[in-house]
Amino acid sequence: MNETFVPLADIGRASTRAPVAMQRVPATGLLHDRLGRPLTDLRISVTDRCNFRCSYCMPKEVFDKDYRYLPHGALLSFEEITRLARLFAAHGVRKLRLTGGEPLLRKNLESLVEQLAALRAPDGQPLDLTLTTNASLLARKARALKDAGLQRVTVSLDSLDDAVFRRMNDVDFPVTEVLAGIDAARTAGLPVKINMVVKRGTNDQEILPMARHFRGTGAVLRFIEYMDVGATNGWRMHEVLPSAEVVARIGAEFPLRPLQASAPGETAQRWAYEDGAGEIGVISSVTQAFCGDCSRARLSTEGKLFLCLFASSGHDLRPLLRAPESSDDAILSTIGHIWQGRSDRYSELRALRAPDTSDPGAPRRVEMSYIGG
């Protein structure tokens, strides 16, 4: 099946596929890495391409017309992704997140969603299946994604001010279309979270307008500290606005109280509006590293397994997947060994260095658009 990229005209077309049979996986027992962290969460990058050029992720100067993206043959097929997801579930993964690049650029993504939604954990429960998107194509895709079995969606939105938003996506994309995507998702019955990356001096003036806009709507707004991911975004510590300041600014207008984490390994610290208008979250990857609870693995578009967002290399599972003689057991055992050898804790180590310094001997980190955010 050719499922590379979506001709815009095809987006939102109804599915004509036969229903996918439910697949329950055998349990292998929970895995733990060298720091005692379980493997519970798999982020799957379905494309390294994007139609935005957010400067903190895919700066235009680097991701220009000469940039070499992965060739079609390198991409894992939907069947390969689903097979791997099934094996990860056998090792304890309960949460799958589709990401990229911009995942909605991958053609027939709803077909992958349908296959993943048919997976069952050893206890018979479906896996938690979600997607992170810039929402540029969500208005046209939300219904098909929901019908295919997607459970939730996270939309990245850095500003409500159209001029600021256009500048940040750097392709002049209007904010109204993202808001229409959010509306379409909610109308389709998909719960929505909103992720705002905060860059001091770029969009921090948008924190309060965003809070005012989304409180009371049921959509959970989460503020992410600007991170030094990849090697191209020119990250500087002075552009990081600590989450504590986000909470203080919002709390000064709308009193907040802290909430318990809803699940172990949750990246966001949660705060409730005292007046009952919902909650916000802050993801403090820079100022309060949470490596100690990090139970996430990342699968790149071409099938490399990364153990940390800041890794410089991954473990290539594709040759194993494509070798005719490779059994599920062989792949399970490889994944098990890789996870059991994991000791990554980049953000904790970064916090021990002086701000704005890098580890001199460190190899170049992979880009977030490739590894999956």
CB 297 within 8 A of CB 31: no
Least distance (Å) between residue 115 CB and ligand SAM: 20
Is 241 or 321 the residue whose CB approaches ligand SF4 more closely? Answer: 241
CB 101 within 8 A of CB 301: yes
Least distance (Å) between residue 242 CB and ligand SAM: 14
Least distance (Å) between residue 35 CB and ligand SF4: 9
Instruction: Assess 207 for contact with ligand SAM (CB under 6 A).
Output: no
Chain positions 69 to 108 lying near ligand SAM, rule: CB under 6 A, are 99-100, 102
Instruction: Assess 173 for contact with ligand SAM (CB under 6 A).
Output: no
Phi, psi of 208 (to 5 degrees): -70, -45
Q: What is the DSSP string of 182-250?
A: HHHHHHTT--EEEEEEEBTTTTGGGHHHHHHHHTTSSPEEEEEE----SSSS---GGGB--HHHHHHHH
Q: Which of 252, 250, 240, 241 is nearest to 279 (CA)?
A: 250
Other Cβ atoms less than 10 A from the Cβ of 351: the count is 15
Q: Which residue has the tokens 């733990």?
A: 32
Chain positions 118 to 157 lying near ligand SAM, rule: CB under 6 A, are 132-134, 156
Q: Which of 239, 237, 199, 267 is nearest to 353 (CA)?
A: 237
Which does residue 82 touch among ligand SF4, ligand SAM, none (CB within 5 to 8 A, set by kind)? none
Instruction: Assess 373 for contact with ligand SAM (CB under 6 A).
Output: yes
Is 273 or 370 the residue whose CB approaches ligand SF4 more closely? Answer: 370
> Which parts of this chain interact with ligand SF4 (CB under 6 A)?
50, 52-54, 57-58, 100-102, 134, 156, 290-291, 294, 308-310, 344-347, 369
3-state secondary structure of 316: strand
User: What is the Cα–Cα distance from 264 to 181, expressed in whole angstroms?
Assistant: 30
Chain positions 210 to 249 lying near ligand SAM, rule: CB under 6 A, are 224, 226-227, 229, 233
Is 82 or 284 the residue whose CB approaches ligand SAM more closely? Answer: 284
Which does residue 151 touch among ligand SF4, ligand SAM, none (CB within 5 to 8 A, set by kind)? none
Least distance (Å) between residue 221 CB and ligand SF4: 17
Least distance (Å) between residue 281 CB and ligand SF4: 15
User: What is the Cα–Cα distance from 257 to 259, expressed in whole angstroms?
Assistant: 7
Question: What residue ranges bind ligand SAM (CB under 6 A)?
Answer: 50, 56-57, 99-100, 102, 132-134, 156, 195, 197, 224, 226-227, 229, 233, 368-369, 373
